[in-house]
Amino acid sequence: MGSTASQLPKDLLSEYQELTFLTKQEILLAYRRFFELLPKDQRDLNCRIAMEKILTLPELKSNPFRKRICSVFSTSEDKDGSLTFEDFLDLLSAFSDSATPEIKSHYAFRIFDFDDDGTLDRGDLEKLVNSLTGDTADTRLTPEEMKQLISNILEESDIDKDGTVNLSEFQHVISRSPDFVSSFKIVL
């Protein structure tokens, strides 16, 4: 896997196509975009790109969950959100039009699980709402509005009534919202 950026070896291209929901053209475009972010002397498939560089991509720049997306897809032991080329492909694959609703909802759940504990609790839901509405004085909900909204979300989603939303409960809610799957994408 120490190939340089000049050309992606055909065997790797085929392997990536088998392991992702991406077409050959999408993989080659991702390859080009990834290596454009690396300094010329570091262009190697094993290199990591810092989260700050990844966040300069127009496709992520305005996404309110951009940092969480990098964190979820990063395999860095440092948990710094940096991405390898394979991490980058995984991210693009999960957000592609061809990814299954189960894959999309799985990754959406992980992105929304801000504390990485496997459930969406009140803290995660508050961060989720603030990310969607913009966490500014003008857009932030009042404490009462936030409490009511989170109660409504839990009332609709928390099937086992344990005060949190687990992955299967989240997927159940998402299955009733076909617009979610079509809006959960990043296109290069």
- Maximum C-alpha span of the chain: 57
Q: What is the pLDDT of residue 188?
A: 63
Q: Does the reported pTM lie above 0.75?
A: yes
Question: Which tokens go with 14?
Answer: 């085929």
Burial 156-175 (b: 16+ CB within 10 A, else e): ebbeeeeebbbeebbbebbe
Q: What is the pLDDT of residue 5?
A: 45
Question: Which tokens go with 5?
Answer: 């950026």
> CA–CA separation, 133 vs 161, rounded Å?
26
Q: Is the pLDDT of residue 122 over 50?
A: yes
Q: What is the pLDDT of residues 1-40, one digit of tens each?
A: 444 445 899 999 999 999 999 999 999 999 999 999 998 8
Question: Which tokens go with 78?
Answer: 């440092």
Q: Share the mean pLDDT of the chain.
A: 91
Domains located in the chain, CATH noted: 10-94 (1.10.238.10), 101-183 (1.10.238.10)
Contact 8, 28 (CB under 8 A): yes
